[in-house]
Amino acid sequence: MKTKCKNLTIWITGASSGIGEALSIEFAKRGATIILSGRNKEKLEAVKARCKKSDKHIVMPFDVADAEQAKEAYRSIKTQAGKIDWLINNAGISQRSLIMETTEEVERQLMEIDYFAQTRLARLVLPDMIAQNGGKVVMISSIAGLLGSQYRGAYGAAKAAIHMWANSLRAELHDQGIEVATVFPGFIQTNVSINALTGDGTAQGTMDDATNKGLTAKAFAKQVSKALIKGEEYIIIGGQKEKLAMMVNRLSPPKLYKMIRAAQVK
């Protein structure tokens, strides 16, 4: 059964740019009330202004990696919005460094932002979702969490961990009215590669060619919104190369990794 967006209040993290921005605009267009979160209040306000019926949406800036800030943000959201129907856990950071050139500190930073911060926020909202007899938690994983490749070792590991955690959450809370969906983006035209961490923790600062040639964030958001509204739980969004890789992986994982080694994806 399709969900009517006009009845939903949706909390979207990482909403100041990229796919979080696109998802906010798309769901606002469909009538939902959006809670926009990220670290930069000015950027969030700019995204809010682009959302349909902007006056009804709420900007809630905080650092997703800070547990106390997350708790305070949720308390404030409940005061202002009353409830959250969907949480879209989108905030995160990518990686562009070889495993042997990446420090353990950087790997822990990636896991903290891309895994622990996400599960922490979900656990924060779930008790109220259960009490209101329903809710949806959406985890933004990555095709990198399904298919390991060069330069994304810790990032892929964190995104794979989110995927498995979401599977377990779905099994545990299905009978309590909680829906869990996982989205696996491929290459999307955002600043993800520019902000990606290198081996010493500094940002890469440049756009990958593959990212630059990926789907637009707007096209991604349209596909994801349709899938979530229809109740899909396992959503893979990517271009032809990503779709081919997924098909080859189903047929012959060894063949896929020969292709990945030859491609030297960065």
- The CATH code of the domain that includes 228 is 3.40.50.720
Catalytic option among 74, 115, 151, 155 = 155
Assess whether pLDDT exceeds 90 at residue 263: no
- pLDDT band at residue 3 under the 50/70/90 scheme: confident
Q: Could you give phi then psi for residue 228, rounded to 5 degrees? A: -70, -40
User: Mind spelling out the 3-state secondary structure of 25-51?
Assistant: HHHHHCCCEEEECCCCHHHHHHHHHHC
Place of tokens 């790997």: 107
Within a domain: 261: no
Strands 188-189, 9-12: parallel, antiparallel or unpaired by DSSP?
Answer: unpaired
Share of the chain above pLDDT 70, in %: 99
Within a domain: 34: yes
Residue 225 identity (one-letter amino acid): S
Domain count, the chain: 1
Q: What would the pLDDT profile of 138-181 be if each residue is shown by its tens digit? A: 999 999 999 888 999 999 999 999 999 999 999 999 999 999 99
For the chain, the average pLDDT equals 94
Average pLDDT over residues 57-61: 98
C-alpha–C-alpha distance, residues 254 and 125, integer Å: 40
The two three-digit tokens of residue 155, written as one number: 């990032």
Task: Please tell me the predicted confidence (pLDDT) of residue 243.
Answer: 83
Assess whether pLDDT exceeds 80 at residue 266: no
C-alpha–C-alpha distance, residues 88 and 45, integer Å: 18
Assess whether pLDDT exceeds 90 at residue 227: yes
Task: Please tell me the predicted confidence (pLDDT) of residue 257.
Answer: 82
155 as an active site residue: the answer is: yes
- pLDDT band at residue 1 under the 50/70/90 scheme: low
Within a domain: 38: yes
Assess whether pLDDT exceeds 80 at residue 201: yes
DSSP state string for 123-137: HHHHHHHHHTT-EEE
- Record the pTM: 0.94
Within a domain: 251: no
- The β-bridge partners of 35 are 11, 58
Within a domain: 14: yes
Within a domain: 138: yes
Within a domain: 160: yes
The closest alpha carbon to 115, from 173, 172, 70, 155, belongs to: 155
Assess whether pLDDT exceeds 90 at residue 208: no
Within a domain: 252: no
Q: Which domain holds residue 178?
A: 5-239
When mean pLDDT is compared across 50-54, 85-89, 141-145, 249-253, the lowest value belongs to: 249-253
Q: What would the pLDDT profile of 65-98 be if each residue is shown by its tens digit? A: 999 999 999 999 999 999 999 999 999 999 999 9
Cβ atoms of residues 95 and 153 within 8 Å: yes
For residues 26 and 3, which has the higher predicted lDDT (pLDDT)? Answer: 26
Q: How far is CA 213 from CA 100, 189, 199, 207, in A?
A: 28, 7, 25, 10
Assess whether pLDDT exceeds 80 at residue 264: no
